[in-house]
Amino acid sequence: MKHSIHQLITFIFISILISCQNESPNAQVNLSDSKPAKNEPQFKRYHIKSGIVKYKTRINGKVMGSTIEGTGTQELYFKNWGAMELKKSDEKKITHINIFGQKKTEVEHTKTIDKLDNGKSYSVDEKNKVIYVRQDPAINMLKNMGQEDIAKAGENMLKSLGGKKTGTEKVIGYTCDVWQIPGGKQWIYKGVPLKIQMSLMGITTTNEATEAKFNVPVPDKYFVLPDYPVQQMPGFKNDPNRTKDMKQRDEKLRKMSFKQYKEMLQKNDPKTFKNMSENDLKMSYKLMKKIADNGK
């Protein structure tokens, strides 16, 4: 299923908070641990050196005559303050469709593995038995802003987009900062999300930690990816023509008014636009403007 513009915006938004080659598309990539270049500062994604966290996932809601429910699990392993991280998820979603008296049930089972290695992002495509690699856009954006403490920079970005810290609550015994954000709520422990609840177009997804261990040894075996060919992520190779297109796009977004942005979104993705509140639209507009500004 293709991501809507709203889902993409939310993904970038969360990535900034919790995070916060010049190769041909078929080039093989070395999967050994990469290290920051000499004299390059160590970026801290979290305020904890290492950790192992396990989560449960719940999905429920109604949209366009369909009822959606689902469950799943997620595992998070990280070390070096989050510079090295691997996340695995296993999710089952059931959709009960009832349109004009026609009823049917669809079951979707999804497994994902994503790894972050000092700014490089690896995504495992189990269906095609391939691993895609690219530079992580959220971390690159913060690096370009000169931010070393990415967890702190993520909080500042969150505030500028309308996020508010509303207090503290405990999740599995850890005292978390609670953030109210457009479309959801997050419980953050020293930069690590222990609970995330997001609502998009009538569907609520909750990821909540069931157990966590911090500042413990995390063996290298937890960061090993399947033995699949590794390719540059399509559309993310260092192509001079693409770079020119991206600069032109960013320049257009920098000059775009909120009214023009709404008109563009309504034209390109009318279904998503219809289901977005005015606050969601304003949040997405601010975020896209910030990303465009940082692309100068």
Is residue 147 predicted with pLDDT exceeding 80? no
> Checking DSSP bridges between strand 174-181 and strand 66-79, what pairing results, if any?
unpaired
Is residue 228 predicted with pLDDT exceeding 80? yes
How many Å apart are CA 294 and CA 141, to the nearest integer? 6
Query: Domains, the chain, ranges and CATH?
Result: 5-236 (2.50.20), 239-296 (no CATH)
Give the pLDDT mean for 156-183: 86
> Residue 40: which pLDDT band, with cuts at 50, 70 and 90?
very low
Q: Specify the pTM.
A: 0.70
Tokens 């290298």 label which residue? 220
- Position 103 scores a pLDDT of 83
- Position 99 scores a pLDDT of 73
Mean pLDDT of the residues in the chain: 77
Least confident of 3-7, 65-69, 72-76, 113-117: 3-7
Least confident of 17-21, 134-138, 206-210: 17-21
Is residue 192 predicted with pLDDT exceeding 80? yes
CB 201 within 8 A of CB 186: no
Rg, the chain, Cα only: 20
> Residue 260: which pLDDT band, with cuts at 50, 70 and 90?
confident
- Position 245 scores a pLDDT of 59
How many Å apart are CA 93 and CA 110, to the nearest integer? 8
